[in-house]
Amino acid sequence: MANHKSALKRIRSNEAKRLRNKYQHKTTRNAIKKLRELESKKEAETMFPTIVSMIDKLAKKNIIHANKASNLKSSLTKHVASL
């Protein structure tokens, strides 16, 4: 167990950050799944920019790696174009 006041605060803040990161990551994954399941090109094209924005935010905050973000955006772009 932590002995210092600052260490206790760090434990609390780390837990809060972990939960926030987990929520944002899961929300983005669900949005990506919804985009991949869409059949209409028009819906996919309207949804695509918001999902790319979500992916960029995750990469900026180091929740996912920058290369993974690029790979996701690339594969989603190909998917939307092929509809």
CB-based contact 35:51 (threshold 8 Å) = yes
C-alpha dihedral, 35 to 79 to 44 to 32, nearest 10°: 20
Q: What is the pLDDT of residue 20?
A: 96
Q: Is the pLDDT of residue 3 over 90?
A: no
Q: What is the pLDDT of residue 51?
A: 97
CB-based contact 64:58 (threshold 8 Å) = yes
pTM for this predicted structure: 0.85
Q: Is the pLDDT of residue 2 over 80?
A: no
Picking from 13, 32, 36, the residue whose alpha carbon sits closest to that of residue 24 is: 32
The residues, any chain, with a CB within 8 Å of residue 48's CB and separated by 6 or more, are 35, 76, 77, 80
Q: What is the pLDDT of residue 11?
A: 94
pLDDT tens, residue by residue, 59-82: 999 999 999 999 999 999 999 999
pLDDT tens, residue by residue, 16-70: 999 999 999 999 999 999 999 999 999 999 999 999 999 999 999 999 999 999 9
Coil, helix or strand for 72?
helix
